[in-house]
Structure 1
Amino acid sequence: MLPVTNRGKGQKDSALGAAYGVITSYKVHSNDVLDGQLRVTVEEENTGRSVWFSERMLTDNEIIETLKETASQRVRWSIHRPKSGWYIRLRAPLFPPNASVSLLPVEAPEAPAGSGTLSFLCQTRIDLTPPPPAYGTPSANPAQPRMSQSSDHSYPPSSPSSPIGSAPYSKPNPSSPLAVNVDVDPAASTTELLSSTTVASTSSLLPSPVASTNPNPPAAAAPGATGPKTTADPRVRSEVTRFFVKPMPLGTTTQPGAASSRLSFLPAAMSMNLMGSLGTPHHSFTIQTSSGALPPVLTYHDTTPFLSAARSTGTIELDHGVARCLGVEPSWWIAVALAYVEFLEARDGYLAASDG
């Protein structure tokens, strides 16, 4: 990590405090649906530099989005959805075959009915100690979290009926950086497609694939996770943490202009009237621990113009301070955010079709 002392455009202090780092803003935009292959680009707001991009490919059974680092062209994550049915699974090239992290629906009372809230389990290394005073995120190089040294669903989805632990498990080689119990999907035939792809460095923790067929288990109930694990550093604890990806309540946007930009094609008076009734764009959301113990690690502000033929545009605010405390690399949160944007778009299409 490189120290910085200045906050540039598109950056502000972490919600944990200035000592922990910065919140960096990224612009998300995609090509028009008529342009051919879908490509989503994530650029730094202050420099316009492309940091990550995703591309879509189709297989016989799945729709796969691959998230790559722009500079290295390395695949960081792939997002898997079926052509029919429903699931969302995220993989890294380093994952064992058929292993994935699933985004699962959250139901009442944990989330309002029909809210579209999803959850996932992620291996984390919690370190709440502030970094050195000069810690920050250089605008030309997104921060990497500091690590401890150790080595057929209806749509919208309904809860799976199988209890947690009913899925088969296998263990990777203990020398693997993902030496944890994993969820194996025998029906997944396309998850090896990226196995020969050049893999990025593993100096930052990859979210381990955690077995769970229950959308609402306590984090410590995940197979292979009997509770917090101690590390060589007593200030750091390794555990499975549950996260919610949930829409922001109406009227709570923290980014002025997010709604107005969607109505920029309308006369000013009409735009103001509509903004009063629309409130926060309904595709704005946060990613946060289910306990709420930490501030959101990522906030997405939807800026897609209404009645636009283009796909989603928006702004991601990634809190590198929170990401560092969780010990998970920034690209993971970007992948989850892009997966959720796709989910919301598909959900809108389904609801519109249902309404006739």
Structure 2
Amino acid sequence: MSTSSLRPRPARKSDRNSTLASTLRTAARVTTAAGGVAAATGALTAAGGLLGTRDFILHEVTAPVLAPGTFDRLRRFHADAWPVGRDDFTILHVSDLHMLDHQKLKQRWVASLNQLDPDLVVNTGDNLGEEQAVPGVLRALGPLLRRPGVFVFGSNDYYAPHPVNPFNYLLGKKNPPSEVELPWRGMRAAFLEHGWQDATHHRTDFAVDGLRLAVGGVDDPHLNRDDYDALGGGPNPDADLAIGLAHSPEPRVLDQFAADGYQLAMSGHTHGGQLCLPGGRAIITNCGIDRSRVAGLSRWSERMALHVSNGLGTSKYVPFRVFCRPSATLVHVVERPSQ
């Protein structure tokens, strides 16, 4: 074999064009395949997020905020209601229904929570998702309205949802509410008619099975509608349990609740982050609290606990939940440890 046969032959222009064309075709196939995977992944994520809006779950947490000896006193004076072995007061926390009239599955699921036999129902707002939704809300809450209950409203009780710029959430900017007013007055009248109490800029004292409650609340801080001074002071010092309510858990309001001696603050609004990373890790809270408090029970101060519901619905313009199942919570209020 001659040495000349071992030398690489110089590529002709036609060969170089053929090679380039082949490379481009390969790159196109790879790009198309990657795009298809990305599109498929996006479609699966979107489908999972849409299905996630119907994947309801009940959480249960224990809040040790009552003074030691509270249940012994109740047993002495209300033995029938507080038999030996009953050492908790249960609060069903529902929030952010964002109800649409056709959401019959959600309505049935919320109504079924009555089987939990809660001592108190707390509703922290954003019940409505459209103008036609009041009947759906009343179907969902119907059995619970026969129990002791308190409520405050959120922005989506007052104003209908509308398409907004989603990047504002990521940038920490508030989207202005729409100009379409929802029929919140009729819903409020129905709540009151059934016996629930409106805690908006109001303090109310009542007892459930002898447990003395003091509840105060503010209008939605997310819309800057809160006026804490309108409460006219802190809770009744004779109460066994003082609860502060605000739709959005803004630190300025929570600090005021804590300073005035409330033992438990309850809010919604965050949707638990709604579009979360695996493990339910929130990207944003849509309010002033940090991401570690975006849902569930946490300690706000030495004597005040905070419970934030991740809610049961979404805006109809963003009907997705990713790694963040819609939920209600049964809060077991118990005595704090003796010191």
TM-score by length of 1: 0.31
- Which one has the bigger strand percentage? 1
Q: Which structure has the bigger radius of gyration?
A: 2
Higher helix share: 2
